[in-house]
Amino acid sequence: MIDQRLPPFPDFVEEHRVRVYRFLVSAVGPVEADDCFQETFLAALRAYPKLEHAEALDRWILKIATRKALDHHRERGRRPVPSESAIELADARPATTKADGIDPADPLWDAVRALPPRQRAAVVHRYVLDLPYDQVGDLMGCSAETARANVHHGMRTLREEVEADA
């Protein structure tokens, strides 16, 4: 019974923060990820008193993050990727260098950002977090087949973009 107890919230954050950030930074980009990260954990904190058991907390928090990422895109609408986006990113994240972290000028960012939101989220769940398709579907509120199709289309577009750049 004791292992079913909810972990104290600070421990919960500590356990899931890296994965949630990994998902968000790939799904919405390094600038918007900060807001989405905060919104995700604040939503969890709001709901925490109503949670009755500690089952599948990893999926619960990723589901919230997925919703935040997709909401985020919905709010902003599909934006074209501006040609200077890499420069904006570099300005926003001056401390980050290629050697020790994200390279904001990496052309892969632009390619990922150009994907439709659902494809982007599906690709990230599958290839950044290594989740199986049924879980990707569960997180995105669709079937495993739809998730697989989203991932497939997303990866095909990414490959084309990266090749075109090369």
Partner 1 sequence: MHDDLRGRDLKRLTADAPERSAELAGGLAAAADERGLLDIALGTVDSPLGRLDVAVTDRGLLEIAFPEQDRATRLAVLSERVSPRILNAPAKTDNVRRELDEYFEGSRTGFDLRLDRRLLHGFQLTTLRATERIPYGRTATYGELAERIGSPRAARAVGNALGSNPIPIVIPCHRVLRTGGALGGYGGGLSRKQQLLALEEQIAGDP
Q: Which residues bind partner 1 (CB under 8 A)?
A: 5-6, 8-11, 13-14, 17-18, 20-22, 25-26, 34, 37-38, 41-42, 45-46, 48-49, 96, 100-102, 106, 108-109, 112, 123-124, 126-128, 130, 155, 158-159, 162-163
Write the CB contacts of 88 (distance below 8 Å, at least 6 apart in sequence): 31, 82
Work out how close the CB of 67 gets to partner 1 at its nearest, in angstroms, rounded to a whole number: 18
Nearer to partner 1, 23 or 67 (CB): 23
77 or 94, CB closer to partner 1? 94
CB of 150 to partner 1, least distance (A): 15
Nearer to partner 1, 38 or 143 (CB): 38
Tell me how far apart the alpha carbons of residues 39 and 28 are, in angstroms, rounded to a whole number: 13
Could you tell me the smallest distance in angstroms from the CB atom of residue 103 to partner 1? 8
Smallest separation (angstroms) from partner 1 to the CB of 33: 8
Task: State how far the Cα of 53 lies from the Cα of 68, in Å rounded to an integer.
Answer: 23
Handedness of CA 110, 112, 115, 118 (dihedral sign): negative
Tell the smallest beta-carbon distance from residue 144 to partner 1 (Å): 18
Residue among 140 and 158 whose Cβ is closer to partner 1: 158
Alpha-carbon gap, residue 143 to 151, rounded angstroms: 12
Nearer to partner 1, 26 or 85 (CB): 26
Calpha distance 14→4 (Å, rounded): 18
